[in-house]
Structure 1
């Protein structure tokens, strides 16, 4: 895998009607129309008549971002910020295409990711090398650069001032080294990108939400991910807003599940490290564990449906664990 692989799920951006979710404490959840309903989200945060987007999806997501503004009764001129959790294309690929619609907005991004927003050629080359030109266009479209003067680098502790609603950026590696999580003090929540894992609404049961880590190549670092989760927990957030997908309550329980799953995935990776069929063994092990946990959680979906919903994540997590094994043993 290339150094900037971007959460490789097929998407057209127009294959379905995206979900519309009621706002909560001035936070609007936006379905960015990738893969299937309620797969990937961006967020609109309101503060005294001004707004900030958190992530933006792909080029194909731009109409859905603008439609969310209209639903919120806001105009594009009221958006001051586009804050990117990280530069994987399902989170940030549409930034350059969205920004011309937002005349007053600046892009906030981790210092490691800023150069890739200004010049996305490496992102384009990496994704095209993996998927080919046709699939790259279908999934993401042509990446547009963000003018350098509209980019703000957000180091650890950077505060985005949103009309009396400050947004604190924390350096949260583990999924990617160019990852920030954003704390909204007014709502008492974090926008977690991929640092707090994946939780699809398809797997909600009477026991609550179901969660698992994402180890997408190439920068999975388990110890850093543990630390990043604990940093966020120290703020005692009332909810988490991951990209995949939407608001999560029961933060303490889900954090405990994340910690346990990170350790179990690392143990699986080490057990498979020297196998000739390592990738297949990782895939089988991840699938078996997720299926077992889903059944224990009360998920009654057919096994074929679960495979369809989780197949892409299992493939990516297997690849990421393999990269981690290779780099940690180098």
Structure 2
């Protein structure tokens, strides 16, 4: 169990997504309207419940559950968690509401990608959220959760069209889900800040991602709270690295499509995944990060997913 007080009456609970620490987190806002941001997938819910227990919080007191988007590593467990939070409302992007209310398409899609056995291990069960507990938040709408804490919702496509970010007035921070990437916070022990874009399928769009990044930049936030994983107090470094690596990711995708355009999607994705990971290996080696550092396990997983999103985007662009 990993629970961390990160200031401004916010606690980060490690949800051990995929059985990995520092992978996916839930944020607890300790206010009159007790608020949880992100739940991860259902296998992570026991970690969330244990984290709340360690904080002396009864789930029955949770008033608000917010999911930044409906990818299963962020919202797959919300229906299961809600069974423990009968008074709570679930806040979601307008494009995500119907999928939380009826997750059948999410389930079918996950089973197609992962197969029945892996689906059971990684995501099961995915439970529907009752309509009367679902609340849509439109762009720029707000939610008052405490006397001096207002949350403002910003629609931020790029990673997914059903994504919003949440600005927090108390910390002047923003909960960004996957919009401006992944924070490999385990590298801080090696004195390295490392941020990469998250380009998973099937709604990745680099232009929209940059527009969303610029929108966040314009807010002049002091902190960024990542879905994966933890808090950064250096927003300008986040924006710089996102833009730098996004160009590289897309350019390498274009090179793979140009060189191997006739290959099936899966093979092109594998070639791109290998190329991206090799590029990151070289970069980290120059930063004196050993080949056996745990970050490499995370990068292999993430580049496999990122490559699929980039190839999917490029193939759709060809057909437009």
TM over 0.5: yes
Unaligned residue ranges in structure 1 (runs of 5+): 1-17
Cα deviation, residue 236, structure 1: 1.1
Q: Tell me which residue corresponds to 1:283.
A: 273
Cα drift, residue 304 of structure 1? 7.6
Q: Which aligned pairs between 1:106-255 and structure 2 lie closer than 5 A?
A: 106-164=89-147, 165-204=149-188, 207-255=191-239
Matching of residue 326 in structure 1 with residue 315 in structure 2: yes
State the alpha-carbon separation in 2 of the partners of residues 95 and 266 from structure 1: 32
User: Does structure 2 conserve the Cα–Cα contact (< 8 Å) formed by 1:197 and 1:212?
Assistant: yes
- SS of the aligned residue for 2:4 comes to coil
Counterpart pick for 1:312 among 301, 307, 312: 301
**Residue 294 (structure 1) aligned to one of 270, 281, 284:** 284
Shift in Å at residue 117 of structure 1? 0.3
CA offsets 1:258-314 (integer angstroms, 9 cap, x no match)? 011111211111222222263343123211221222234x34222585542311111
Question: Tell me, what secondary structure is at the counterpart of 2:11?
Answer: strand
Deviating 4+ runs (over 3 angstroms): 205-208, 303-307
1:266 lines up with 2:239 in the alignment = no
State the aligned residue count: 311
CA deviation map 1:243-267 (0-9, x unaligned): 1111112110121110111112111
In 1, Cα distance between the equivalents of 2:75 and 2:159?
A: 15
Match of 1:7? none
1:46 equivalent to 2:30? Answer: yes
Quote the Cα distance in structure 1 between the aligned partners of 2:115 and 2:269.
Answer: 22
CA shift digits 1:126-148 (9 cap, x unpaired): 10112122211110112110000
Distance in 2 of aligned mates of 1:116 and 1:309: 28
Q: Secondary structure at the match of 2:17?
A: coil
Secondary structure, in 3 states, of the residue corresponding to 1:270?
A: helix
Q: Provide the rounded CA distance (Å) in 1 between the counterparts of 2:238 and 2:294.
A: 23
CA distance in 1, matches of 2:62, 2:250: 41
TM-score with structure 2 setting the length = 0.92
Residue 76 (structure 1) shift: 2.0
Residues 9-88 of structure 1 correspond to what in structure 2 (within 5 A)?
A: 18-35=1-18, 36-47=20-31, 49-88=32-71
State the match for 1:104 in structure 2: 87
